[in-house]
Amino acid sequence: MPVTSSVGKRPEGVLLLFEARFDRFFNALARNQEEFKHLPATPCASIPAHKIGSPALPYLYLRRGCPASHDAGGARVGAALAPGTACGHSPMVAVAAKACATCRFAYIRDRHSPQTNGMTYIDAAVAPLRKTGQIKIYGDNAFAAMRKAGRLVAECLDMLGPEIAPGAPTSRIDQLVFEFAMDHGALPATLMYRGYTKSTCTSVNHVVCHGIPNEKPLKDGDIVNVDVTLIVDGWHGDSSRMYGVGTIPRRAERLIEVTYEAMMRGIAAIRPGGTAGDIGEAIETFVKQHNMSVVRDFCGHGLGRLFHDEPNIVHVGRSGEGITLKPGMLFTVEPMINLGRPHVKVLSDGWTAVTRDRSLSAQFEHTVGVTETGVEIFTLSPKGLDKPHYESA
Ligand code: MF3
Ligand code: CO
Ligand code: CO
């Protein structure tokens, strides 16, 4: 989910380094993206791996012609990498890519042709593939595509259930999601998104969102949110659920119940002619009744062929305020609810958001579309596994 009010900018002209383990991913991208095919994928070690900076950021973006800076973590490197610089003993792979100011993958997909080039067939084909400052209204074909993407995400989250158990590290969850995506002709939307290098976000206990999968084993009593976004035929399905690890404490169970119910009440408030504030109010009032708090710093978002688009869907508010909901709008509802105070901070990895008071946090997310009569949820579990069943009573 995006930060509530700001959108980052990617510098013009970037060179990507990424790990060879993403080979399958880039092959999948190449199969999906005609315009990706011409880009070289040259093994490159003109920057030694140990100089690449934070191990949490195993690849970099370099400004072309800017020898000593990159925007992926503050580490400095000695020399600019020319696109296609060859060597062969590094675990990294370099890919020259075009700039993208606004959205994910564009630097790989080259979605955004330089302004100076005028219109090309790519521009015409992908004209909606950028933020336009307006809320896009989609038709039947988009709804059908979103149904397909949403269903695959739900099936992926269903698949994870039995895998999430004491001893399993979140990196295992990430690997399973990656494999699932590859096996189903989908792309994990978070991989390479704004410097993120995993196929999921896994947020454990007091982590609010954007937890980075790691090798630490989950332990009995943990709660974890797994957030999966898959791109299917170019369309994004985005959903997350809570999973209990073994037997969880009663207060964790209550938090999960309230969070799920809050999301569903938010979704139930959606109707054409209503407003985004209806969603926020439904969520906020319900959560307050249970003496829990709604996170303000992250919000739901429009999506479709973009991962994060207009409108922002804030999970607090007043009925009647905010944008008017219209048939054809696509967005997520993804409230983050804390047992304690609503405040969060982002750790130094630049992603992991945690509760400031270290209280437990939970989140559920569905992707929905506004219909003529109400709302359609695209990411419902075909098996009815939308919320966890508990081992404790
Ligand atoms: N899936 C998250 C959402 O609900 C976004 C994660 S972006 C990442 O919007 F880069 F952190 F993975
Ligand atoms: Co989302
Ligand atoms: Co998500």
Contact 326, 370 (CB under 8 A): yes
Give the pLDDT score at 167: 98
Question: What is the CA(210)–ligand 3 centre distance, in A?
Answer: 9
Nearest CA to ligand 1 atom 12: 190
Kindly list the domain boundaries of the chain, sorted by start residue: 14-126, 140-377
> In sequence order, what are the residues at sequence separation of 6 or more whose Cβ sits closer than 8 angstroms to the Cβ of residue 291?
none
SS3 58: coil
Query: What distance in Å separates the CA atoms of residue 377 and residue 151, rounded to the nearest whole number?
Result: 10
> In sequence order, what are the residues at sequence separation of 6 or more whose Cβ sits closer than 8 angstroms to the Cβ of residue 109?
29, 33, 35, 36
User: Which residue, chain included where needed, has tokens 């399905």?
Assistant: 237
Full pLDDT tens readout for the chain, 393 residues: 665 432 233 333 333 444 445 556 656 655 554 433 333 332 222 233 333 332 222 233 332 222 222 232 222 222 233 333 332 223 333 333 333 233 222 232 222 222 222 223 323 334 456 677 789 999 999 999 999 999 999 999 999 999 999 999 999 999 999 999 999 999 999 987 877 889 999 999 999 999 999 999 999 999 999 999 999 988 999 999 999 999 999 999 999 999 999 999 999 999 999 999 999 999 999 999 999 999 999 999 999 988 998 999 999 999 999 999 999 999 999 999 999 999 999 999 999 999 999 999 999 999 999 999 999 999 999 999 999 987 544
Strand partners, 95: 16
Nearest CA to ligand 1 atom 9: 1
What are 333's two structure tokens? 């509802």
Query: What distance in Å separates the CA atoms of residue 52 and residue 59, rounded to the nearest whole number?
Result: 7
Give the pLDDT score at 134: 84
Name the CATH superfamily for 140-377: Creatinase/methionine aminopeptidase superfamily (3.90.230.10)
- Per the document, the length of the chain is 393
Question: What is the CA(306)–ligand 1 centre distance, in A?
Answer: 12
User: Which residues lie with the beta carbon below 6 Å from any ligand 1 atom?
Assistant: 1, 190, 193-194, 196, 201, 210, 227, 229, 238, 301, 332, 334, 351, 365
Taking the CA of 200 as reference, the closest ligand is 1
Query: What distance in Å separates the CA atoms of residue 79 and residue 62, rounded to the nearest whole number?
Result: 10
Query: What distance in Å separates the CA atoms of residue 309 and residue 238, rounded to the nearest whole number?
Result: 13
SS3 234: coil
287-312: b (≥16 Cβ within 10 Å) or e: beebebbbbebbbbbbbbbbbbbbbb
Calculate the alpha carbon distances from 298 to 204, 221, 235, 243 in Å.
17, 26, 22, 21
Probe target for ligand 1 pocket from 210, 306, 378, with the most ligand atoms within 8 Å of CB: 210
* Ligand 1 atom at minimum distance from 365 CA: 4
Contact 329, 206 (CB under 8 A): no
Nearest CA to ligand 1 atom 3: 1
Question: What is the CA(359)–ligand 3 centre distance, in A?
Answer: 21
